């Protein structure tokens, strides 16, 4: 999940440098959503691991 977020972030940065504003904005939005989902899943996994012990 984090790998996809980084991939979309890189696509957004390259698109922004080349002047493709719409694609850059969409890619940045997708990267942000994927990163938030990654953080939520990471916290849930930490809580579940702590609950098992």
Mean pLDDT of 10-38: 92
Domain tally, the chain: 1
pLDDT in tens, 29-49: 999 999 999 999 999 999 999
Instruction: Say whether 21 sits in a helix, a strand or coil.
Output: helix
Dihedral Cα 34, 35, 40, 41, nearest 10 deg: 70
Q: Are 11 and 41 in contact (CB under 8 A)?
A: no
CA-CA distance, 53 to 51, in Å (whole number)?
A: 6
pTM: 0.78
Q: Which domain range does residue 30 map to? A: 2-52
């Amino acid at each position: 999940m984090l790998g996809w977020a980084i991939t979309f972030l890189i696509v957004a940065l390259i698109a922004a440098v080349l002047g493709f504003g719409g694609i850059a904005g969409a890619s940045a939005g997708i990267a942000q959503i994927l990163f938030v989902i990654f953080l939520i899943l990471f916290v849930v996994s930490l809580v579940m691991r702590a609950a098992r012990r």
